[in-house]
Amino acid sequence: MEFNKDDIKMIKIDDETTVVRLLAPTKISTKSFRIGIFFKNEVIWSIDLRIDDPEIDEPIMNEHDFWRYVAE
């Protein structure tokens, strides 16, 4: 997978934290995801995957368990 500069947005949260967001959905297997990678002190701290599917909304997600992994 290759990305151009125009495909990503870098956001500086504070002196230690930066977020890299892919501007377009990225296909992984059969689903498309919005991806954000959080860096703390230049080390990956968290990866945010949000499914990009108009049929899946907040009430549906609340019916099912979802996970989030944060490395510390």
Please write the tens of the pLDDT for every residue from 26-52.
888 888 888 999 999 999 999 988 888
Predicted confidence band of residue 2 (pLDDT cuts 50, 70, 90): confident
**Could you give the count of Cα atoms lying within 13 Å of 34 in the half-sphere of its Cβ?**
8
Q: Return mean pLDDT, the chain.
A: 80
**Greater pLDDT, 44 or 70:** 44
Every domain of the chain and the residues it spans: 5-63
Helix or strand run (H / E) with residue 21: strand 17-22
